[in-house]
Chain A
Amino acid sequence: MSNQITGWTRDQMAARAAAELHDGYYANLGIGIPTLVANHIAPDIDITLQSENGMLGLGPFPDEIDVDADIINAGKQTITELPRTSYCSSADSFGMIRGGHIQLSVLGAMEVAENGDLANWMVPGKMVKGPGGAMDLVAGVKRIIVLMDHVSKNGTPKFRKSCTLPLTGTNVVDMIISNLAVFERPDRQSPFVLRELAPGATREAIAALTEAHYLEELS
């Protein structure tokens, strides 16, 4: 089913997430597709990116000659400083996160439940790598956007009635941008609403590929 729908590419998903960044935001972008969001921030929007290993104000990847082993992001990639950059300890960095000082985080997910529960850190039976900072981010950052494929590799819906995988946090997701659709909710007491369809996606197709209950309010 889903392979008949063109849908959005990873870059288009990242661009859609970038549209949620408002001028002046401090934001944390997770590892993987969420990192691509940085490439799509509009030039008139001023964003400060935070990395949980203790860097505030992330610059782009360096030219080869400027690589510095002491300047890395949370994905352990070499990056650069900006005029606004500051460094802090991991405790202070998570103080920013846990203390609610970061406005937005974009994360990947294995599953999201209709009540906003998120699972993105372990699959039973597979080697557990650990949660890293994901549990802290979802517990502390004010708004959580999930970027994920709409269904898993074997076609199972990832937006579900309840998560089958171990949770990263309970009732923490505010928006889902999949390769097929955008779901959003105004607050964490409300159900998710289907807001946007990707190219080729229909309401019926999304209903068939989604296990979670949601409302529809397409513009």
Chain B
Amino acid sequence: MASKIYPDAASALDGLLFNGMSIAAGGFGLCGIPETLIDALVAAGTKDITAVSNNAGVDDFGLGKLLDRRQIRKMISSYVGENKEFERQFLAGELEIEFSPQGTLAERMRAGGAGIPGFYTRTGVGTALAEGKPTMDFEGETFVLERGIVTDIAIVKAWKADPFGNLMFRKSARNFNPMVATCGRITIAEAEEIVSPGELEPDLIHTPSVFVQRVILATCNEKRIEKMTVSDRETLS
């Protein structure tokens, strides 16, 4: 079997990008985001993207880079609070937002990747986010139907990858990445380290290779910290 490793982010995205496409991206805040692939999307200039990501980055980092260049038309997210340019575009009507509760968003991507078109959850019942969605009662309780998500491509940040596309994530940088990896028609992973075949312990692989079509060595590993907190300060706020 041919290696899935591509020489760089641009070549790994080659032939996959078109205006109006949907892209799922891993990460929570700025933790575990595919920095290298985001930079390549900026360089490619793809427009009218529907981005599925828990957050929208900050103004000059993460998906915020794509927002700054007006490459995103719609976000499907649970929380977008740290981005001023996002706010400006949204209030100006240039950007559409679909809020999904965080656990519902994770499950929508998991379901989409697992071939499940929809599922029922209690989350959001009776709130604005359930308006217009079908409901069903189970054992006397009301649940709302949420749809699975499948995207044109998915981009994830891994800690280690092998040439087959097996992935391991690191600590809380795992977050949304495993579900994102499953929900793309084509999934591209950037890894901090690419190891030789057989080097990953099979029992410790988080994302099996079948979900990953292309792999690159991550060249951007800034891992910016959003809220540095150390032990002599109790809280930031």
Q: Which residues of A contact B (CB under 8 A)?
A: 32, 35-36, 39, 51-55, 60-64, 67-79, 81, 87-91, 93-94, 97-98, 117, 127-136, 139-140, 166-170
Contacts and interface: CB of A to CB of B under 8 A. Distances in A.
B171 A70 contact: yes
B69 interface: no
B73 to A, nearest CB: 18
B2 interface: no
Contact of B31 (A72, A130, A139): A72
A135 B126 CA distance: 11
Contact of B227 (A77, A127, A128): A77
28 contacts: A32-B237, A53-B29, A53-B31, A53-B175, A54-B175, A60-B231, A67-B230, A69-B223, A77-B227, A78-B229, A79-B229, A87-B172, A89-B174, A89-B177, A90-B54, A90-B175, A90-B176, A91-B106, A94-B103, A94-B106, A128-B97, A129-B79, A129-B80, A130-B78, A131-B102, A133-B103, A135-B129, A136-B103
B45 to A, nearest CB: 27
Given A64-B230, A70-B31, A70-B223, A36 B176 contact: no
B96 interface: no
Interface stretch (B36-44, B117-125, B209-217): B117-125
B234 interface: yes
Contacts of A93: 103, 106
A117 B127 CA distance: 10
A77 B237 CA distance: 11
Contact of A131 (B28, B87, B99, B110): B99
A135 B176 contact: no
Contact of A54 (B29, B81, B174): B174
A89 B28 CA distance: 11
Contacts of B172: 51, 53-55, 70-73, 87
B18 interface: no
A66 to B, nearest CB: 9
Contacts of A71: 171-172
Interface string B171-202: 11111111100000000000000000000000
Contacts of B31: 53, 69-70, 72, 76
Interface of B: 28-32, 54, 77-81, 87, 90-91, 97, 99, 101-107, 109-110, 121-129, 169-179, 206, 223-231, 233-237
A168 to B, nearest CB: 7
A132 B78 contact: yes
A131 B227 contact: no
Given A132-B101, A139-B121, 4 more contacts: A36-B235, A69-B173, A87-B171, A135-B123
A169 B126 CA distance: 7
Contact of B101 (A63, A78, A117, A133): A133
A191 B129 CA distance: 27
A131 B225 contact: no
Contacts of A72: 28-29, 31, 172, 225-227
A15 to B, nearest CB: 13
A111 to B, nearest CB: 13
B72 to A, nearest CB: 15
A55 B173 CA distance: 10
Contacts of B79: 129-132
A39 B234 contact: yes
Contact of A130 (B80, B123, B126): B80
A62 B178 CA distance: 27
A129 B29 CA distance: 13
Nearest to B236: A77
Contacts of B101: 131-136
